[in-house]
Amino acid sequence: MPEGDTVYLAAQRLNTALRGQTIVGSDFRIPRYATVNLSGKVIREVRPAGKHLFFDLGDVSLHTHFKMQGSWHLYRRGERWRKPAYQARVILKTQPWDAVGFDLPVIELVTDPQAVVAHLGPDLLAQDFDLGEAVRRMTLDPDRSLGDCLLDQTVVAGLGNVYKSEVAFLAGLDPRTVVKRVPDVADVLQLARRMIRANRSTGSQITTGDTRRGRQRWVYGRAGSPCLRCGTRIAMERDGTERVTYWCPACQPEL
| Residues β-bridged to residue 25 | 93
Residue 201 confidence (pLDDT): 85
What pLDDT was estimated at residue 214?
86
How far apart CA 92 and CA 78 sit, in angstroms, is 13
Q: Quote the DSSP letter at residue 60.
A: -
pLDDT on residue 239? 79
Contact 139, 179 (CB under 8 A): yes
Give Cα separations from 44 to 15, 19, 20, 27, 97 (angstroms). 9, 5, 5, 19, 15
Active site residue 237: no
Helix (H, G, I), strand (E, B) or coil at 251: coil
On the 0-12 / 13-18 / 19+ scale of CB atoms within 10 A, 77 is: exposed
Has 2 been annotated as catalytic? yes
What pLDDT sits at residue 21?
Answer: 97
Question: For every one of its 255 residues, what pLDDT tens digit does the chain have, with 9 covering 90 and above?
Answer: 578 999 999 999 999 999 999 999 999 999 999 999 999 999 999 999 999 999 999 999 999 999 888 999 999 999 999 999 999 999 999 999 999 999 999 999 999 999 999 999 999 999 999 999 999 999 999 999 999 999 999 999 999 999 999 999 999 999 999 999 999 999 999 999 999 999 998 878 999 999 998 899 999 999 999 999 999 999 999 876 778 999 999 999 888
pLDDT given at position 240: 66
Q: How many residues does the chain have?
A: 255
The residues that bridge with 47 in the sheet, in sequence order, are 54
Q: Which of 31, 41, 48, 51 is catalytic?
A: 51
SS3 135: helix
pLDDT, position 113: 96
Which pLDDT value is given to residue 124? 96
108-148 pLDDT, tens digit each: 999 999 999 999 999 999 999 999 999 999 999 999 999 99
